[in-house]
Amino acid sequence: MALGNLSLRREPLDPAQVVSDCVAGVRETALQKGVVIEEAVRPVGEMLADRERLSQVVGNLLNNAIRFTPAGGEVHVRLRGDGRRAVLTVTDTGGGIPPHLLPRIFELGMRHAGSEGFGLGLTIARDIVEHHGGTISAHSDGEGLGASFTIVLPVSAAARG
């Protein structure tokens, strides 16, 4: 399900606020499951982005991390910038991603065994990120070793001074 003609409602926004709002929105779910969320969100400057779509992507990554992390596990959310890019990393201590699935994790319909849904979330997330001029990648050292998803998005020229 490519979002080829996706129209974005871009507006100047603070990605740190979007990420913090998304973390606040899932904190209760994590607490109920016994998963700790560690948040290290730094100001990275302003970007032109669709707030609703960006929240959708961040929320998807957070919900996936919580879903695949057992009670007693952790989800780490880190946002940092280098003046030109904002880099968001969501890392969990969950079940990890099998090596044979990792190269295809963003493909339509790709799902981890035992997961619910149709495997659309990461495909949609990738398309939204790419429509914002960014990239999304996944890393896992294997099953049982957690997973990490990284989004890199450009910050606006105005934010760079």
Residue 158: what pLDDT? 54
Give residue-wise pLDDT tens across range 140-156: 998 999 999 999 999 98
Where would I find the H helices in the chain? 15-33, 51-67, 121-131
Residue 160: what pLDDT? 43
Domain boundaries, the chain: 11-160
- Cβ(47)–Cβ(86) below 8 Å: yes
3-state secondary structure of 147: strand
Bridge partner list, 13 = 47
CATH match for 11-160 among 2.40.50.100, 3.40.50.880, 3.30.565.10, 3.40.50.1110: 3.30.565.10
Residue 14: what pLDDT? 96
Which of 17-21, 49-53, 69-73, 119-123 shows the lowest per-residue confidence on average (mean pLDDT)? Answer: 119-123
Position 112 confidence tier, pLDDT thresholds 50, 70, 90: low
Burial class (CB in 10 A: 0-12, 13-18, 19+), 5: exposed
Stated pTM of the model: 0.89
